[in-house]
Amino acid sequence: MATEAIAAPTLDPPEAEPATKAKDAKGKDKKPAKGKKEEKGKDKQPQAPEGAPTIVAHPRAMRSIARAKGWAGLLGFFIAGYMALPTSTLAGAGLRALLAGVASYVVVWGAAVFIWRRLVMLELKGRQAQMLADLEKAAAARLGPGSQPGAADGR
């Protein structure tokens, strides 16, 4: 029996044909309502330029941010609930716990994104410095021992 390589399925969405007109559930063309203008630019979010570093593309950043948000929400909920129980009714303590959990979730999310932005940039600068050092070593090895890059040019 011949073995064949099986290609992994792609996660890309299927190519959609460009739609010129919107259609309703019955397949008929829908016309825009009179008096309503389409708002331009409402749904568009700013996009990073091609090749720009993003947190979403970082291998560890998204997992770390998600983990931090989850723990912050849980800890905020339980700590606030525990602190509010002796001073309030059960419903009041639950409401305070929910609000504290949501607040801590949002605060830690913002802090984690802030920190990971800096970490990604530091990693890129470190890799750039390493690549420059490797290029200098390769250039020195190519020129031979005891010679300086640029010495042959008479600089």
Q: What is the pLDDT of residues 122-149, one digit of tens each?
A: 999 999 999 999 999 999 888 876 666 5
Token pair listed for 143: 């020129």
Instruction: Please report, for the chain, the start and end positions of each structural domain, with discontinuous segments joined by +.
Output: 61-141
Comparing CA positions, the residue from 150, 125, 127 lying closest to residue 140 is 150
Burial class (CB in 10 A: 0-12, 13-18, 19+), 36: exposed
Q: What is the pLDDT of residues 68-115, one digit of tens each?
A: 999 999 999 999 999 999 987 899 999 999 999 999 999 999 999 999
SS3 5: coil
